[in-house]
C-alpha cells in the first residue's frame, strides 16, 4: 500500500516560512545522528579488525580511506547537485522539473556505482602502491578496497536518495534506514571476523551487505510515496537538461572533494613513511575526529538545503539568517565536541588499540587536528551557503587554492624542511582559517550583487 502524500509531508520541514532556528536544529539533529551512527558502525569495523586481526589489518583499513574518498567524491558531489535542484523545484512548486530531476538522479547513481566497481577493482593495488603503502599492509588494503567497491551502486543510490529527501526537509527516514543497516553491519562484522576469521575481507563484505540494505530501504521509500519526488521505475531515464544542471552544480563540488582527497592522499603517503604503527595511530585518531566532523557536516548540509529552498522561493534575506544561525551552531557544536574529544583522547584511543605506541601517535594527531576543528566546520558552512545559491565553481576554486594547493605546497616546502608529524598535521588548521576567510569575502560580494539586482528590479517595477 502506497504511503499517502499527507504521511510523506509529515516528515518534511517548511524551510521558507515560520521560525528559522528551531527548524534548522530540527533538520540538523537527525543528520548529526545519521553521521554519528555511520561512524559508530565504521568504528565497529576498525575496532573489530584492530582487536581480532591485529595492527597490520587496522593499518590496512585506515590506509584506504583517503584513496576511497578520492575515487568516489566526484559522484558523491553530483548528489549535491541533486539536493540543490530538488530543493529549488520543491520550494517553487515546479513538480514537472522536480520529477525529471529525481528520475535522472536515480539513474546517475546506479550508472556511477557500476563505473566505480571497475575503477576500484582495476586501480586499487596500483594506487595504494603509489601511495607508498608498506608491503606488509598492501595486500590486505587492496583486498579490502576491491570488496568495498563492489557495493558502490548501493552506496551511491543511498546518497542520492538521501539527498532527495534532505532537499524536501526529511532527515528522519534516512536516519531510520541507516540505523537498520548499521545494526546489520555490526552483527556481520562479528560473524565474519570472529567466527570465520575473515579479517579485512569480512569487514568489507559486511559493509557491502549493509549498504545494499540501506539503499533498498531508501529506494522503497521513494517508490512508494505519492509526493512529487516519487521515483517511478518505468519512467527512469536521464533527462539531458537535468543531468547538465546536476553536473553544473555537483561536478565542481565532487571535483573539489576529489582534489581535496589528492592532498589527503599525499598526507597519508607522508604518514605511511613513518611506518605501520604511526599509520594505525593515525587511523584510530582520524576515526575519533570523524565524530566531530560529521556533526559539523550535518550543519553544512543544513545550510545547503535551507539556502537552496529559500533561493528557489526568492527569500534572500532569510538566506542570510540561515548562514548566521548555521555558523553559530557549527562553532558551538565544533568547540564542545573538540574539547570533549581532547579531554577523553587517551581513553577513546584505548578502545581501538592497547598498543602504547599506537595511542601515542593517535594523541599526537589529535593535538593538532581536534583543537581547531571547529574552523573546518565554519569553512564548510560557508561552502554550503554558496552552493545553495547555485554558485559551485567559485567555492571550488577558493577551496582548492586555500586548502588543497596550500597543503601540497606545505608538504613540499615546510614539511620537507622539517619532516615531523606535528609539522605535517599543522597544515590543516592553517588552511581551514585561510579558506574560511576567503569564502566569507566571496559570500559578502555575491549577496551584495544580488541586493543590487533586486533593487534594480524593484525600481523598474515602480517606474
pLDDT, tens only, 66-107: 677 777 877 888 898 999 999 999 988 899 999 999 999 999
Closest CA to 84 of 439, 394, 447, 390: 390
Please report the pLDDT score of residue 260 as a whole number.
67
Question: How far apart, in whole angstroms, are the C-alpha atoms of residue 100 and residue 229?
Answer: 9
Please report the pLDDT score of residue 423 as a whole number.
85
* Percent with pLDDT over 70 in the chain: 90
**Residue 240: band (very low, low, confident or very high) from pLDDT cuts 50, 70, 90:** very high
Angle separating helix axes 95-130 and 138-148, nearest 10 degrees: 160
Please report the pLDDT score of residue 454 as a whole number.
56
**Residue 265: band (very low, low, confident or very high) from pLDDT cuts 50, 70, 90:** low
245 burial class (0-12, 13-18, 19+ CB within 10 angstroms)?
Answer: buried
| Whole-model pTM over 0.75 | yes
**Residue 292: band (very low, low, confident or very high) from pLDDT cuts 50, 70, 90:** confident
Asked if 143 contacts 204 with a C-beta cutoff of 8 angstroms, the reply is yes
Question: How far apart, in whole angstroms, are the C-alpha atoms of residue 306 and residue 384?
Answer: 9
Asked if 275 contacts 360 with a C-beta cutoff of 8 angstroms, the reply is no
- Provide the terminal-to-terminal Cα distance of the chain, rounded to the nearest Å: 55
More confident residue, 462 or 296: 296
**Residue 463: band (very low, low, confident or very high) from pLDDT cuts 50, 70, 90:** very low
- For 156-205, write each residue's pLDDT tens digit: 999 999 999 999 989 899 999 989 998 898 889 888 878 787 878 888 89
The residue-averaged pLDDT of 321-327 equals 95
Asked if 262 contacts 70 with a C-beta cutoff of 8 angstroms, the reply is yes
User: What are the φ and ψ backbone dihedral angles of 3, each rounded to 5 degrees?
Assistant: -70, 135
- For 182-193, write each residue's pLDDT tens digit: 889 888 988 887
338 burial class (0-12, 13-18, 19+ CB within 10 angstroms)?
Answer: buried
Q: Is the predicted pLDDT of residue 30 greater than 70, yes or no?
A: yes
Q: List the domain boundaries for the chain.
A: 10-462
Please report the pLDDT score of residue 7 as a whole number.
55
Please report the pLDDT score of residue 214 as a whole number.
94
Amino acid at each position: 500500500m502506497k504511503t499517502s502524500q499527507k504521511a510523506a509531508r509529515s516528515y518534511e520541514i517548511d524551510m521558507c516560512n515560520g521560525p528559522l532556528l528551531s527548524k534548522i536544529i530540527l533538520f540538523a539533529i537527525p543528520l548529526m545522528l545519521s553521521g554519528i551512527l555511520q561512524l559508530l558502525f565504521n568504528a565497529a569495523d576498525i575496532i573489530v579488525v584492530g582487536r581480532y586481526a591485529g595492527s597490520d589489518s587496522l593499518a590496512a583499513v585506515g590506509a584506504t580511506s583517503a584513496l576511497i574518498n578520492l575515487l568516489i567524491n566526484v559522484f558523491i558531489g553530483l548528489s549535491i547537485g541533486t539536493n540543490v535542484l530538488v530543493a529549488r523545484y520543491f520550494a517553487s512548486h515546479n513538480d514537472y522539473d522536480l520529477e525529471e530531476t529525481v528520475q535522472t538522479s536515480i539513474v546517475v547513481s546506479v550508472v556511477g556505482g557500476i563505473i566505480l566497481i571497475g575503477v576500484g577493482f582495476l586501480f586499487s593495488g596500483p594506487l595504494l602502491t603509489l601511495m607508498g603503502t608498506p608491503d606488509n599492509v598492501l595486500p590486505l588494503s587492496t583486498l579490502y578496497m576491491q570488496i568495498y567497491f563492489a557495493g558502490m551502486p548501493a552506496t551511491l543510490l543511498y546518497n542520492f536518495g538521501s539527498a532527495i529527501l534532505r532537499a524536501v526537509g526529511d532527515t528522519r527516514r534516512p536516519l531510520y534506514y541507516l540505523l537498520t543497516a548499521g545494526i546489520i553491519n555490526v552483527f556481520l562484522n562479528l560473524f565474519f571476523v570472529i567466527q570465520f576469521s575473515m579479517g579485512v575481507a569480512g569487514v568489507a563484505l559486511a559493509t557491502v551487505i549493509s549498504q545494499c540494505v540501506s539503499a533498498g530501504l531508501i529506494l522503497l521509500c521513494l517508490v512508494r510515496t505519492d509526493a512529487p519526488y516519487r521515483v517511478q521505475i518505468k519512467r527512469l531515464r536521464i533527462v539531458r537538461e537535468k543531468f547538465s544542471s546536476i553536473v553544473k552544480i555537483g561536478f565542481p563540488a565532487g571535483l573539489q572533494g576529489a582534489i581535496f582527497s589528492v592532498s589527503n592522499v599525499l598526507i597519508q603517503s607522508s604518514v605511511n613513511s613513518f611506518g605501520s604503527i604511526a599509520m594505525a595511530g593515525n587511523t584510530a585518531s582520524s576515526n575519533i575526529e570523524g565524530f566531530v566532523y560529521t556533526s559539523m557536516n550535518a550543519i553544512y548540509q543544513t545550510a545547503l538545503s535551507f539556502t537552496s529552498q529559500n533561493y528557489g522561493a526568492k527569500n534572500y534575506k532569510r538566506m542570510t539568517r540561515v548562514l548566521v544561525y548555521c555558523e553559530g551552531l557549527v562553532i558551538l557544536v565544533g568547540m564542545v565536541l573538540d574539547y570533549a574529544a581532547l579531554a577523553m583522547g587517551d581513553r577513546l584511543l584505548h578502545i581501538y588499540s592497547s598498543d602504547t605506541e599506537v595511542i601515542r601517535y593517535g594523541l599526537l594527531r589529535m593535538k593538532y587536528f581536534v583543537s581547531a576543528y571547529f574552523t573546518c566546520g565554519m569553512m564548510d558552512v560557508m561552502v554550503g551557503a554558496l552552493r545553495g545559491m547555485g554558485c559551485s565553481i567559485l567555492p571550488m576554486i577558493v577551496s582548492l587554492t586555500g586548502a588543497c594547493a596550500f597543503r601540497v605546497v606545505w608538504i613540499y616546502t615546510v614539511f620537507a624542511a622539517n619532516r615531523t608529524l606535528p609539522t605535517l598535521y599543522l597544515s590543516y588548521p592553517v588552511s581551514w582559517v585561510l579558506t574560511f576567510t576567503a569564502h566569507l569575502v566571496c559570500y559578502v560580494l555575491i549577496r551584495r550583487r544580488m541586493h543590487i539586482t533586486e533593487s534594480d528590479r524593484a525600481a523598474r517595477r515602480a517606474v
